[in-house]
Amino acid sequence: MPVYRHNIVSFPETKRFHFIHIPRTAGRFIEAVIEDNDFSLENDTLGYIEGVDIIHMHRELYEKYLDLDGIPQIAIIRNPIDRFISASIFLKRMYGEDIQEAMEDPMMFSMMLQNFPLTQAVNWFRPQSDFLTNGAQVWRFEDGFGKDFGEWMSGILGVPFTVRDVPYKKLETDETNKLDRSAKLIDNIRQFWREDIEQFYPELATPL
């Protein structure tokens, strides 16, 4: 959960903001774009706090450990179905290649997520609502990261903000090795993250 400070000193006041990095929402690219706009990290994002990767701290932890008083908070959210499929690369890495059938079973689905063996990475599957404060400014991944996103960021930060196709750090894990989007798996995702879907993506909700 990085806090950024603007490097340009010609503005009347120093611009700071908190980027709420929800896993699998283009965070690494957005961080590279932020740095391309003359912002730099104010806090160390390497390592773990209370067993959670610092870069992906949820609300309970970042409010406890970061100085966020009076600064904007910005987050990207993503369709929970797409977000889970993207994160499924880690499930296959930890549980093995042949887990499609198990993940299509509702009980096994819940058990495998709730007992994910890499404890410091549990936030990959945490509901997005757990990351957000009431005052967080939220952009939807599906709306893209072009001119409109730049104007939205500029309006929040009060400085010009442009989006360029900048290089960013890639994962060592094969990001194409995901679970298949079967109907049974999508039903499990809808039920497991029902609150996120109802709050942010009601068009994806299905009746109980």
Provide φ and ψ at 137, rounded to 5°: -85, 125
List of E strands, 12-118: 16-20, 39-41, 48-49, 52-53, 73-77
* DSSP per-residue letters across 145-173: SSHHHHHHHHHHHSS---------PPPSS
User: Contact, 20 vs 75, CB < 8 A?
Assistant: yes
Q: Which pLDDT does position 148 carry in this prediction?
A: 97
Query: Is the pLDDT confidence value at 207 over 70?
Result: no
For residue 60, what pLDDT band results from cuts at 50, 70 and 90? very high
- pLDDT tens-digit profile of 94-122? 999 999 999 999 999 999 998 888 876 78
Q: Across the strands, what pairs with 20? A: 75
Task: Judge contact between 29 and 145, C-beta under 8 A.
Answer: yes
Q: How many C-beta atoms surround the C-beta of residue 174 within 10 A?
A: 10
**Cα separation of 93 and 91, whole Å?**
5
The structure tokens listed for 80 are: 């929970």
Q: What is the DSSP letter of 9?
A: T
The angle subtended at Cα 139 by Cα 156 and Cα 193, nearest 5°, is 140
Q: Give the predicted TM-score (pTM) of the model.
A: 0.91
Does 85 score more than 90 pLDDT? yes
Residue-by-residue DSSP string for 7-56: --TTSSS--EEEEE--TTSSHHHHHHHHHHTTEEESS--SSEETTEEGGG
Q: How confident is the model at residue 196 (pLDDT cuts 50, 70, 90)?
A: very high
| Residue 196: count of CB within 10 angstroms of its CB | 22
Q: What is the pLDDT of residue 116?
A: 86
pLDDT at 36: 96
